Structures are given as structure tokens and as C-alpha cells.
Chains A and B, each alone.
Chain A
Amino acid sequence: MKRLMSGNAALGEAAILSGCTCYFGYPITPQNELTEYMAKRMPEAGGVFIQSESEIAAINMVLGASVAGARAMTSSSSPGISLKQEGISYLAADELPAVIVNMVRGGPGMGNISPAQSDYLQATRGGGHGDYRTIVLAPSSVQELADIVPVAFDLADAYRNPVIILGDGMLGQMMEPVDFSNIKKIKDYPKDYILTGADNRPSRMVRSLLFDTKEEEEHNWKLYRKFQRIENSEVRFETFLIDDAEIVVVAYGIAARIAKGAIKRLRQDNIRAGLLRPITLWPFPSKKIKEIAKYITDFFVFEMSTGQMIDDVRLALEGKGHISFYGRPGGVIPTPIELARIVSRHYFQTQKVRKQ
């Protein structure tokens, strides 16, 4: 049965159905509906809810719950996510699973509360200090948001690494019908590293300070090998009308949804445009882009930022193909008509150049 829910509330319900038993949060717009949903639902579900004194405290409570063996989640928005970076780095270093939701705001500093994609680089490059990465999932509808939550918890447990769900105010606050029946039985991950008290077993310690530089080096390489495994096997993306396309729009999250609308309009005007939508922003679908570049040379990156993913597209193309970009930062919501107009103009200009 479908229920009409906001993205934030759907995310909370999906987390509980995915076996999340601990949620820690601090108020910040545009993700408050999630904290409020958890305040009500977590006690009903027998789980733990704490409104923490800060985002720093929340992420450290997540770390504590995770090291104690629970599936734990926190959520925030851009400025709050900056504060959580300390804890995210420790989670990665200690190899502890956690899910962190970022409903991104429109800019640096305080930013505004309107939909934006300004935290791509922070999310995909680790975000905090040290040599590490986080898996970054970017859904583009309320249903996909609900579907991706169990995936996020499974990936976190499978790789013992923090996973980021990257959304924005539009995804978090708009209401859409959502069906939770896709969430299957919770997988059981053996956790031989958690702290339960050394009852009839040797004591355990979880730490990230290794004074011996050789040990610390090996720990860094161990993490690196894990990140390579993730890059090799966890890339997710969606393609839309790319088989006969002459131009490929690359967009993620809510921007990809706007792009789909634009592509439908372009197709009506006989402009053969297609879409590549990265679902994992890290690991990035670089191989897929390289493969597409064998038969399509025209790439059009569209982001609700000044252009952050464009670097990854460039790296994937390794100098092949042409990249154009259209961005609307600051919380401005571009429309499909607007994007179609921009892509169309670009298409005819490049066609003219090609003919010459």
C-alpha cells in the first residue's frame, strides 16, 4: 500500500524498517521532519531517540551506538554536516558502520534552506581529515529515497564504513506516494568487533591512533584496499534514452529529475538527448562514462551548484569528448523548460560547428 509522505518522513520510516534502532539528531532545516518523525516513531519501535546538544554530539552518539553493535543514523544539513565531519572521519578510521543523511542547503556558510547540491565535493572526497572515503547515495524521488535506505545500512555493515545519503530540501520536504514493501528482511552481519563487555572472551579495543608508523601506514593501505573493492563492485547509476543519444546530460538527485523532464521536451523537438544519472556519487560511474564516450562525444553536466561533479566527469573522460555545463547554485530551482532551452541552444551551436 502506498502512503503519501514527505521524503524526510519516508526516510525515517525506511530506516526503522531497515533495522535502525538508534537515531540522534539536532534541529536544522530542511531535515527537521526526519528528526521529528524519529522522535515519535523510535520509541514506538523500541529504539533510541536523542535530540543531542549539537551535531558533533549526535555523530559521536552514533559512533557509540555503532561500536555497541546497533544500526545507527543521524541527519543534518550542510552547516551541521560540516560539524559532523570529525566524527565521520573517526567512524571511517575505526571501521564502524553508520548512515548519515545530508539534506543540502544552498551555499557556503549558513547558506539558505532552498534545494541545492553544494556539498558534492565534501561528500565524495571524504569530507573530514585523513585518507578515507564515504559511500555516497543520491536518490531522486521519495520512493527511491525509501528504497535506498536499506541499501545504505547494508553497505555500511558490509564494508564497515560510513554511508552518506545526499538529498536536498526539495527531496526531503516534498510529499509523494511511497511504498515500503520493497524493504526485505534485515540481513544479519556478524559483528566480531563490537564492544559488549569482555565476558568470557579476550577484551577488545577500537581505536584509530597507531603510534607505530608502519602500523598506521598498513591501516591506511587496508582502508584503501577496501575503498578499491567498493569502487569495483558498488557503482550504481541509471541511464535514460542514451542508446540513440547524440548528447548525454549527466545529473544526479533532484537535478536528474528536472533533467528527465527537459530530455522529454528535447526529444519532442527531435533532439536526441539522453541522461546518465549517477546514484552512487562515490564510487562514481566513471567506467560507464568512458564506455558511453566511445559512441557519444557530447556531455552536458547539469548541477544545482557552480559545478562540482563536473570534475568527476572530466576525470572519467580523460580528455575525450566535449563537456558543457549549466548550473544554478544558491537554492534556485531550475525548470525542465529552462534546461531544455539551454541544452537545445548548445546542441544547435555545436551542430553548426560540426557542420563547418
Chain B
Amino acid sequence: MKKIYTRPASMKDAHFHYCPGCGHGIINRLITEVIDEMGLRGKAICVAPAGCGMLVYNYFDIDTLESAHGRGAAVATGIKRVRPDNLVFSYQGDGDLAAIGTAEGFHAANRGELITVIFVNNGVYGMTGGQMAPTTLRQQVTTTTPSGRNPVSAGHPVRVCEVFSVLDGTSYLERVAVNSPSGIRKTKKAIAKAFEHQLNRTGFSLVEILSPCPTSWKMSPIEAFRWIDDVMVKQFPLGVIKEIKC
């Protein structure tokens, strides 16, 4: 019998710890598929974050370092400058990249570091129990915005791709979502494109992935998938935000 679907070689034979309906599992799989298809397993080095994405090293069968919260882009910079021929990417959440690690991400992007950031935006701090993230939508209820995020006191949701797009060091920024088969295919293409930009030394690349967190959003997985289309993309429009020819 012909095998038409199997575990990517860059993925360990392990059970995901992610909640039902979570987007991380899909994203983890897409990254390893791309690494396999581009023949990069022996070259890839991943920098894992603090948060739900931290445990990617239990699933990625590639060299991985667990970084301090928010410092992924700085650590990846150190690795890449020593090993310019490797594929170096950080896997970061919204709290990690857009709150505590804003400076590290912003300046790595501005220096045009030849690294890729896989930025998982689910609008909450998932691992710590669903607190407000910098990307939490206005009026969205979280454990630290019990009456909904009030921009007057809690600020507005941060559009990371748009902010980074004005920095001359960035070469490829795309926002995608993993809530539909077509979105998943686009996400895979975007990851491959970002890696190409890195390998061609064009500049800093980042893929922002809108990802469902049904547990913290207090929704069923199906409701969460729909909520991305109905609500989240209005604040975070999908598509290529910036691309320089590579």
C-alpha cells in the first residue's frame, strides 16, 4: 500500500501537549514539513520561547535552544553570526515578541539579521492561563481584562508586521492564519518563503500566524476557528505586508 501521509522526518515521535483545537500543533507540523522538503534538517537551529511554544523541542527533531522569555531574536542573532550557513529561526508568541521582547525583535529586524521569526499570534498569554497580550483585541475578555480590553487604560492591539515593515532591515513579512485548509497551505508557503529569504541573505523575515486558542478564548475549537475569520482578521489583515525581491 502506498503511504500518502506520515510524520515529517524532522518531527519526533511524541504526543503534543497542546489543548484540543490549538494552532501550535499545526504550525509545528508545517515548520517540520518545510524543513524536510527544503532538505534543511541538518542545518536548522530553532530558538524556542517561553510560553506554550516552549516545548517545541519535544517535537522538533532538530537542534533547539530554549531561550529566556522575549530574548529569542537576540539569541538567534548570536547563533546566526557564529554560524552564518545554518538556518536559524525563533518561534515566539505574542507576549514574547510584542511585549517583553519588543526591543530584541525590533532591533534584530532593524539590523536585518538573517534570521526568521515564526510569530504565533493568538491574542493571549496561553500558558499562564489566558491573560491579556499586546495583541488582545479591544473589548476582548481575558483573565486580566475581565470587563474587556479597554484601550484607554490597556492600550491597543499591536500589529507587529506593520510595525516591522517600516524597518529597512526587513525583507519578508507575511500574516497568515491556520484556521482553514487554504490558510494552512498559505502558512506553509509563507514559512518556506521566509526561509528562502534567510538562505538568500536578503534580510530579516517574519511570518505572523493567527492561531486559535480555544481554551483561553473560552470557545469550542470550531467557534475559535470562525472567530479568527469573523473578528481577528479585521484587526490583523492577512497577506504579504512586505516583500523585497530575493
* A residues lining the B interface (CB < 8 Å): 21-22, 24, 48, 50, 52-54, 56-58, 60-70, 72, 86-87, 90, 94, 195-200, 203-209
Segment among B67-75, B147-155, B219-227 that sits at the interface with chain A: B67-75
B78 and A195 contacting across the interface, CB-CB below 8 Å: no
Segment among B38-46, B118-126, B161-169, B175-183 that sits at the interface with chain A: B38-46
B78 and A207 contacting across the interface, CB-CB below 8 Å: no
Whether A64 touches B42, Cβ cut-off 8 Å, given contacts A57-B103, A198-B62, A206-B66, is no
A65 and B63 contacting across the interface, CB-CB below 8 Å: no
Count of B residues near A, CB < 8 Å? 36
B81 and A197 contacting across the interface, CB-CB below 8 Å: no
For the complex, is B229 an interface residue (Cβ under 8 Å from A)?
Answer: no
Of the candidates A64, A204, A206, the one whose C-beta lies within 8 Å of that of B78 is A64
With A and B bound together, what is the CA distance between A203 and B13 in angstroms? Answer: 13
A67 and B79 contacting across the interface, CB-CB below 8 Å: yes
Q: How far is the CB of B89 from chain A (nearest CB, A)?
A: 12
For the complex, is B117 an interface residue (Cβ under 8 Å from A)?
Answer: no
For the complex, is B76 an interface residue (Cβ under 8 Å from A)?
Answer: yes
Complex contacts, B66 vs chain A, CB 8 Å: 205-209
Complex contacts, A207 vs chain B, CB 8 Å: 48, 57, 64-66
A53 and B63 contacting across the interface, CB-CB below 8 Å: no
B63 and A197 contacting across the interface, CB-CB below 8 Å: yes
B75 and A204 contacting across the interface, CB-CB below 8 Å: no
For the complex, is B54 an interface residue (Cβ under 8 Å from A)?
Answer: yes
With A and B bound together, what is the CA distance between A90 and B74 in angstroms? Answer: 14
Complex contacts, B77 vs chain A, CB 8 Å: 50, 57, 61, 64
* B residues lining the A interface (CB < 8 Å): 41-45, 47-48, 54, 57, 60-68, 71, 74-83, 86-87, 103-104, 106-107, 111
With A and B bound together, what is the CA distance between A207 and B78 in angstroms? Answer: 16
Whether A22 touches B78, Cβ cut-off 8 Å, given contacts A53-B103, A90-B68, A207-B66, is yes
B104 and A53 contacting across the interface, CB-CB below 8 Å: yes
B45 and A195 contacting across the interface, CB-CB below 8 Å: yes
With A and B bound together, what is the CA distance between A72 and B80 in angstroms? Answer: 14
With A and B bound together, what is the CA distance between A87 and B67 in angstroms? Answer: 9
With A and B bound together, what is the CA distance between A306 and B60 in angstroms? Answer: 51
A65 and B71 contacting across the interface, CB-CB below 8 Å: no
With A and B bound together, what is the CA distance between A52 and B41 in angstroms? Answer: 30
Among B78, B81, B111, the one with the most A-chain Cβ atoms within 10 Å of its Cβ is: B78
Of the candidates B60, B79, B111, the one whose C-beta lies within 8 Å of that of A68 is B79
B44 and A24 contacting across the interface, CB-CB below 8 Å: no
Of the candidates A24, A54, A195, A198, the one whose C-beta lies within 8 Å of that of B65 is A195
B65 and A206 contacting across the interface, CB-CB below 8 Å: yes
B82 and A199 contacting across the interface, CB-CB below 8 Å: no
With A and B bound together, what is the CA distance between A353 and B154 in angstroms? Answer: 68
A60 and B71 contacting across the interface, CB-CB below 8 Å: yes
A-B contact pairs, 12 of them (CB 8 A): A52-B74, A60-B67, A63-B78, A64-B79, A67-B78, A67-B79, A195-B45, A195-B64, A197-B43, A199-B42, A203-B63, A207-B65
Complex contacts, B106 vs chain A, CB 8 Å: 53
B43 and A66 contacting across the interface, CB-CB below 8 Å: no
A195 and B63 contacting across the interface, CB-CB below 8 Å: yes
B42 and A200 contacting across the interface, CB-CB below 8 Å: yes
B71 and A87 contacting across the interface, CB-CB below 8 Å: yes
Q: How far is the CB of A239 from chain B (nearest CB, A)?
A: 40
Complex contacts, B48 vs chain A, CB 8 Å: 207
| Nearest B residue (CB) for A66 | B78
A197 and B44 contacting across the interface, CB-CB below 8 Å: yes
With A and B bound together, what is the CA distance between A135 and B205 in angstroms? Answer: 38
Q: How far is the CB of A24 from chain B (nearest CB, A)?
A: 7
A70 and B63 contacting across the interface, CB-CB below 8 Å: no
With A and B bound together, what is the CA distance between A203 and B204 in angstroms? Answer: 25
Q: A64-B81, A198-B41, A198-B63 are in contact. List 11 more A-B contacts (CB 8 A).
A: A53-B103, A53-B106, A53-B107, A57-B74, A57-B77, A60-B74, A60-B78, A64-B65, A64-B76, A195-B45, A199-B43
With A and B bound together, what is the CA distance between A60 and B42 in angstroms? Answer: 24
Q: How far is the CB of A104 from chain B (nearest CB, A)?
A: 24
Complex contacts, A57 vs chain B, CB 8 Å: 71, 74, 77, 103-104, 107
| Nearest B residue (CB) for A61 | B78
